[in-house]
Homo-oligomer: A and B are copies of this chain.
Amino acid sequence: MENYIAQNRQRFLDELFALLSIPSVSADPSFSEDVIATADATAEYLRAAGAQNVEVCQTPGYPVVYGEYIVDPNRPTVLVYGHYDVQPADPIALWSSPPFEPEIRTTDIHPEGAIFARGACDDKGQFFMHVKAFEAMVATGNVPCNLKFMIEGEEEVGSANLAGYVKQNHERLACDVILISDTGMVAPGVPSLTTGLRGLSYVEVEVTGPNRDLHSGLYGGAVANPINALTDMIAQLHDDKKRITIPGFYDRVETLTEGERAELAQSPFSLEAYKKALDLVDVAGEAGYSTMERNSIRPTLDVNGIWGGYTGAGAKTVIASTAHAKISMRLVPNQDPKEITELFTQYFLSIAPAGVTVKVTPHHGGQPYVCPTDHPGYRAAVAALSDSFGQKAVPVRSGGSIPIVALFEAELGAKSILMGFGLDSDAIHSPNEHYGVANYFKGIETIPLFYRHFAAEAKA
């Protein structure tokens, strides 16, 4: 296996470069032919690697690429999920090399070189590790599990059609565990497994006062100003310990044991470096929790946007008729987005001051996700990472949300193992996205170990 990977090293890079050269920007319709060409290329690489029943499955949006390799119906089955679409490259002027002409350059963090291209890390470079690891396994006659691949093309635009595809393909996608490489490691060289993702409730609020914009001299002080009302209401959503005041908000929040908190605290983290990277004088958040806990195991409420009144240059003495805000809540295990949205709405309407009317419109939501560390898939991943890195993987609770992971659990009854090889500094979604060459090959080497350990776990 190691030999095969070493002998094909240049080709594995060349093929990834070819995939990265196709601008599969799902958000921009002018790239639609490129997105479809990337689906076709992905299918072709799967076929070449040895996958069976490869199909570019049509959806109302961009297709899902499916392929499988069934060695024995009695063996455990692993479903690999990834996405072949990428974020827009804008602002292109900030790229040091063209985003769809991949090249390798060294950086302080990647002294052995990193591949610079849109999608290098998110997620072409990471899902393609699975294709190449699979190829190596097939070529060396070493496939201990059944494999299924589901590579979608709409992850960067919300995976709108993936739920329908999953619902319609329960049997085809049936599996014991799902394996995903679309996350990162906490620090260079430190193997990491993401054990939790926060859920999301996202609402838009509108506060209306007078039926038209008013002159602030003639009406100021005599009618409720919708912007002042909105700021008052938002201020009431937190207490002075930065706890969220919505009644019932914390009722279902999962409480971690001291042991679990201690394990999370193992993650290498420098508060000074964190503050310096953001030019912050100080961090802020819920009393009684560390920065790492605040953005992972605790639910939050943030205003994502606010607007109202006169926002141009200079001074205009107006009292706006309406004011608006977009507010999102990150949720932790056991909190339900629908219930939280309802609790928010009830409370927000209840604190509206006299003289204004308030409207709350839900946007989208997502369930939180947690992977128990005693799951066979998790144990297999820890073992595989220990083999290849020589150290135990760190469990990481991510503050972000990947709503499809909760969907997979609900529809397919399977947990997802989030084994990523990227780094925070890889600039995903930003100019000069890159992915370490060493990380790419580390992934290709680790993945076959996962299958070996998972087959053993399943047998045990």
List the 6 closest pairs (A to B, CB-CB), nearest first. A221-B300, A217-B400, A235-B235, A305-B309, A211-B279, A284-B355
Query: How many angstroms from the CA of A233 to the CA of B320 in the assembled complex?
Result: 19
Check: A206 CB closer than 8 A to any chain B CB.
Answer: no
Check: A238 CB closer than 8 A to any chain B CB.
Answer: yes
Nearest-neighbor residue (CB-CB) of A316 within chain B: B304
A215-B400, A283-B355 known; A303 vs B231 contact (CB < 8 Å)? yes
| Most chain B Cβ neighbours within 10 Å, of A280, A310, A320, A324 | A280
Question: A227 CB to closest chain B CB, in angstroms?
Answer: 4
Among the listed stretches A12-20, A44-52, A290-298, A434-442, which one makes contact with chain B, having 4 or more residues with CB under 8 Å of it?
A: A290-298
Whether the pair B316, A305 counts as a contact (CB closer than 8 A) is yes
Question: With A217-B399, A223-B280, A304-B319 given, can you name 9 additional A-B contacts, CB distance below 8 Å?
Answer: A217-B398, A220-B302, A222-B292, A222-B294, A231-B306, A304-B310, A304-B318, A306-B311, A311-B326
Whether the pair B234, A304 counts as a contact (CB closer than 8 A) is no
26 contacts across the A-B interface (CB closer than 8 A): A198-B217, A211-B280, A212-B278, A216-B302, A220-B300, A220-B330, A220-B399, A221-B286, A221-B302, A222-B283, A223-B283, A224-B284, A225-B303, A227-B302, A227-B303, A227-B325, A228-B238, A282-B354, A282-B355, A283-B355, A284-B355, A304-B317, A305-B309, A306-B308, A306-B309, A315-B363
Whether the pair B216, A328 counts as a contact (CB closer than 8 A) is yes
Whether the pair B309, A308 counts as a contact (CB closer than 8 A) is no
Interface string of A200-225 (1 = CB under 8 A from B): 10101000011110111111111111
Contacts of A32 in B (CB 8 A): none
Number of copies: 2
Check: A460 CB closer than 8 A to any chain B CB.
Answer: no
A309-B304, A318-B304 known; A234 vs B223 contact (CB < 8 Å)? no
Contacts of A227 in B (CB 8 A): 302-306, 325
Contacts of A300 in B (CB 8 A): 216, 220-221
Contacts of A324 in B (CB 8 A): 311
Contacts of A281 in B (CB 8 A): 354-355, 357
Question: A274 CB to closest chain B CB, in angstroms?
Answer: 8
Check: A307 CB closer than 8 A to any chain B CB.
Answer: yes
A200-B317, A326-B309, A363-B315 known; A221 vs B285 contact (CB < 8 Å)? yes
Interface string of A341-359 (1 = CB under 8 A from B): 0000000000001110100
Query: How many angstroms from the CA of A302 to the CA of B300 in the assembled complex?
Result: 29
Question: A428 CB to closest chain B CB, in angstroms?
Answer: 10
Whether the pair B210, A302 counts as a contact (CB closer than 8 A) is no
Check: A364 CB closer than 8 A to any chain B CB.
Answer: yes
Check: A64 CB closer than 8 A to any chain B CB.
Answer: no
Whether the pair B295, A220 counts as a contact (CB closer than 8 A) is yes
Check: A314 CB closer than 8 A to any chain B CB.
Answer: yes
Contacts of A353 in B (CB 8 A): 284
Query: How many angstroms from the CA of A306 to the CA of B318 in the assembled complex?
Result: 12
Query: How many angstroms from the CA of A219 to the CA of B274 in the assembled complex?
Result: 11
Check: A232 CB closer than 8 A to any chain B CB.
Answer: yes
Question: A132 CB to closest chain B CB, in angstroms?
Answer: 29
Question: A161 CB to closest chain B CB, in angstroms?
Answer: 17
Query: How many angstroms from the CA of A98 to the CA of B64 in the assembled complex?
Result: 60
Whether the pair B354, A295 counts as a contact (CB closer than 8 A) is no
Whether the pair A216, B304 counts as a contact (CB closer than 8 A) is yes
